[in-house]
Every structure is written in C-alpha cells, then in structure tokens.
Amino acid sequence: MRLTLKVWRQAGPRATGGFRTYDAPDVNPDMSFLEMLDVVNERLEAGGEAAIAFDHDCREGICGACSLMINGIPHGPRKATTTCQLHMRHFRDGQTITIEPFRARGFPVVRDLVVDRSAFDRIIQAGGFIGVATGNAPDANAIPIPKPDAERAMDAAQCIGCGACVAACPNASAMLFTAAKTVHLGLLPQGQPERWRRVLAMMERMDSEGFGGCTNFGECLAACPKEISLANIARLNADYLKATLVTREPAPS
Ligand code: SF4
Ligand code: FES
C-alpha cells in the first residue's frame, strides 16, 4: 500500500505545531498502525529527520499507552480497537491519513503525538487506599458478591486509562474514565469503607485538572476501545450525590 500521512509535528510543549506531509510507499496491510509509524520513522531517521514521537508500550490493547487521533477519531475507525491493535488492512491503498495527538486542556502536548496524561494518574491517586484486612488469603466465597455486581465491576475495571473518552468529548470530560475507576470499587464489598470519601476526592481532582463536565453527548462510549458503559456515569453521579449527603468532612486535596 502507498499512503500519504499528514502528521502533527510539535517540537515541545510551548513550540508552535503544524502538519507535515509524508509519503509512506511501502506499507504492508498486515502491519499495525504503530508498526507503520515505525517504518516511517526509520525512513525519516535515515534521511536525517527527527522521528515522529508517539506513545506506546504493550502493543496488545491492555496498557492504555497508545493514543492518536486518526482521521479525527481517537484510536481510529475500528470500533473497540486501540491504535496498537488497528491494522493497515482497514485503510485503502492511496488513502490520505491525518494523525494528531489527543487534544484536551487536561492533556497538554509533550512532543508531536505524545500528550501528558498524568492527570489521570492524579485522579486515581486522589482515590487513595482500599481498607482490606491483610493476612492469609481468604477462602473462596468467604465474601459473597452477587453475580450481577461482580460482572458490572469487572466490566468497569476493563478501563485501560487511555484517554480516548476525553479526546472524543466536545467538553473534554473525563467522566467515563472517572466513573469506571470509582464504580468498579463501589460495587464490591472491599470498596465500601472508603466509598464516599473516594468519590468526592476523585471528582474534585477531575475538576481541578481542567476536564469539562458531562452533557450526555455519548462520544466517549463511541471512542472507548473497551466499550465502558455510560451506565457507569449514572452510577458515579448517584454515588456523588449520596457522598455529598453522607460525608460531612471536606474531601482531602
Ligand atoms: S473509559 Fe475507555 S476511552 Fe476512557 S480511559 Fe477508559 S478505556 Fe480509555
Ligand atoms: S500500546 Fe498498550 S494499549 Fe496500545
């Protein structure tokens, strides 16, 4: 396949960025999108140009490190697929592909296609600890959990923290991510002791990191590679309301 790539290049956080156009003449349809960029980078470096910076780690859809807006869609055109699991056979020979970083106030550009998503780490950190008794492993079924709760908790726990939900949202809201991270603990017995304090602290941190509010566009779900349900946002809102009623102490900053 021969492709034309329009790639966002930006030397640093304060540098002015812009699109550069690259010819990619030797793309194998079985390459992943990131392998295609590896090949482009080899050519750039051989020609003395700086490689295109982009984030990646596991390359198997589980770590959340990869990102990229591909033709205006976070993680590209395939439903429920991370950028690292997207293959070039889903594009046409001769196609022009536009590649940009995730864009949101809470995700400042570091370089080229790499953005700083440490705001997500700080939201999780604000959630604090889980108060579980230590010691020997408990017997199986010692803590009964209704099957529907276990299923919903495990579904929410699939969030890989990639940030596509923020990039897709017109408000750059982080509600789907924050909901996934609070709800999976809020549904389980082990998550109850700190449940209300956790919700208040994570919501407060989410707001202070500059993410917008949820106004029910649903773009987050469309972009989410793990198909985290919008029902989690409803559960987070319910928990947040209850937390403001049952908690008198201010949330720790
Ligand atoms: S909710 Fe989905 S899109 Fe958002 S961070 Fe988690 S896995 Fe990524
Ligand atoms: S590189 Fe780990 S999910 Fe894509």
Q: State residue 54's pLDDT score.
A: 98
59 lines ligand 2 (CB under 6 A): yes
Q: State residue 252's pLDDT score.
A: 54
Compute the distance between CA of residue 135 and CA of residue 133 in angstroms, rounded to an integer. Answer: 7
pLDDT digits (tens, 9 = 90+) for 165-203: 999 999 999 999 999 999 999 999 989 999 999 999 999
63 lines ligand 2 (CB under 6 A): yes
CA distances (Å), origin 4, targets 24, 39, 54, 122: 6, 14, 18, 38
CA distances (Å), origin 236, targets 29, 184, 188, 191, 241: 41, 10, 14, 14, 9
Q: State residue 138's pLDDT score.
A: 78
pTM (whole model) above 0.75:
yes
Ligand 1 site residues (CB inside 6 A) read 159-165, 176-177, 180, 223-226, 228
Average pLDDT value for the chain: 95
Look up residue 51 and give its amino acid: A
pLDDT digits (tens, 9 = 90+) for 13-24: 999 999 999 999
Given a cut of 90, whether residue 143 has pLDDT beyond it is no
Closest ligand by atom to 59 CA = 2
Q: State residue 135's pLDDT score.
A: 83
Given a cut of 90, whether residue 130 has pLDDT beyond it is no
Share of the chain above pLDDT 70, in %: 98
Length in residues, the chain: 253
Cα first-last separation, the chain: 52
Minimal CA–CA distance to 119: which of 107, 111, 110?
A: 107
Share of the chain above pLDDT 90, in %: 90
